[in-house]
Structure 1
């Protein structure tokens, strides 16, 4: 209809009317584009809100996992401290259960594996870039960095176990006696070892103390990072929208 009217005005050489029609068309197109952009932006915002809510729920679940991880690491610190103190006082003679508990703490590695499905979905979305420069994005960056750091510490622990602790224990002590303490071995019906770990040769004491000390240091750092990550997770949850808040 607007095209017929423009053609009519051109035939009659009513240039003022042609100009008005042109302005009407341009304004209409502009408003249409703006409305389309607004609708698209609103849809992206709603999607981002849904993703942030899912991320908050995921973090809540990860907190429980992180707390269990921290407690397991702390228990291993206590076991290592106990056996190091016993070895220092007894000059190599130590209760078998105490020594095996300390050695088990060195060889058992707990890996932190947080649930990241919601976070990965959020990070891959185009709307995530709209958070750049906000306090929320800063907190997410700190949280992500410490998750990566904690997992790297776990990988370092595996390297120490596989290349230092296990070779020493299997050569100078009974790893079978240590393994028998594990729940998995017990559940699988592992036959108890005929060897006992109740004495460490004097020439091995210094090396064993170093093995225990190195592992203590990496576990202690994991505990520190885990506790920091727990606080960062709680702070992040406070910044994220919650279900029912929209």
Structure 2
């Protein structure tokens, strides 16, 4: 309709009408572009919120991973102390029965690596969605968090080597059935280990000084894992608090205390 009106105005050389029709056309185009821009901006904010909410879920998982890591190091250290006490024959071993000894032996060399879940962050980088985050400080905090999590993994192979060394040191001390029973206990003894002969076990184990050496070395490993786990929880809680603030959600007490 506007095009027809404009055509008639040109034919009749009604330049004022031409000008008015031209202004209407331009205004319509500008308004159309503006509406499209507003709609895209609204969609971007929706997408940003979805990604931030997913990051929040990942961070809550990371914080819990860290707390599990701390608890794991405490249990593994306790198991290592029980095995050391028995092998060294000191008074602390008096309360360590066969079940506790067998259950503790494989568990004493366990290493729980506190790994951060970076799946959402990697997706945001690969798809360019990181640009959706408007808060510059939050974007910087995200980069710092995931860079720190990645940097902490440079020691993982060394920690695994310590774990492998301990497993090599205890190889053959337990039968397949005893080892399977011990693994099922998760470091805590329930019932009796199948066919376990304590005297024969001690006679063989005490000919392997590498067991004690490895257990003492694993103590440093557990301290490293404890520190890594603590840092992961604290950093995850702090970043989660920033994201909650960006989302306009209340900060949880756990996050606020960090």
- Are 2:109 and 2:218, in contact at CA under 8 Å, matched by a contact in 1? no
Quote the RMSD (CA, aligned, Å). Answer: 4.0
- Are 1:9 and 1:15, in contact at CA under 8 Å, matched by a contact in 2? yes
1:128 corresponding residue in structure 2: 130
Distance of aligned partners of 1:152 and 1:103 in 2 relative to their CA distance in 1, 3 Å threshold: farther
Tell me if 1:239 matches 2:239. no
Cα distance in 2 for partners of 1:159, 1:175 equals 21
SS at match of 2:244: coil
1:165 corresponding residue in structure 2: 166
Deviation of 1:32 (Å): 0.7
What does the per-residue CA deviation read over 1:210-242, in whole Å, with 9 as the maximum and x for residues that have no partner?
Answer: 422432222211111111111111111211137
Cα distance in 2 for partners of 1:214, 1:146 equals 25
Cα distance in 1 for partners of 2:221, 2:23 equals 71
Q: How does 1:45-64 map to 2 (within 5 A)?
A: 45-64=45-64
1:107 corresponding residue in structure 2: 109
Cα distance in 2 for partners of 1:35, 1:168 equals 71
Give the alignment's TM-score, normalised by structure 2. 0.69
1:198 corresponding residue in structure 2: 202
Tell me if 1:141 matches 2:143. yes
Deviation of 1:125 (Å): 5.5
Deviation of 1:61 (Å): 4.5
Give the alignment's TM-score, normalised by structure 1. 0.72
Cα distance in 2 for partners of 1:184, 1:105 equals 9
5+ long unaligned stretches in structure 2:
251-258
5+ long unaligned stretches in structure 1:
none
Distance of aligned partners of 1:238 and 1:127 in 2 relative to their CA distance in 1, 3 Å threshold: same
Deviation of 1:132 (Å): 7.1
Cα distance in 2 for partners of 1:244, 1:192 equals 61
1:223 corresponding residue in structure 2: 226
- Are 1:106 and 1:161, in contact at CA under 8 Å, matched by a contact in 2? no
SS at match of 1:198: helix
Q: Which shifted more, 215-224 or 59-68? A: 59-68
2:13 corresponding residue in structure 1: 13
Distance of aligned partners of 1:190 and 1:10 in 2 relative to their CA distance in 1, 3 Å threshold: farther
2:254 corresponding residue in structure 1: none
Cα distance in 2 for partners of 1:198, 1:149 equals 41
- Are 1:83 and 1:102, in contact at CA under 8 Å, matched by a contact in 2? yes
Deviation of 1:138 (Å): 2.6
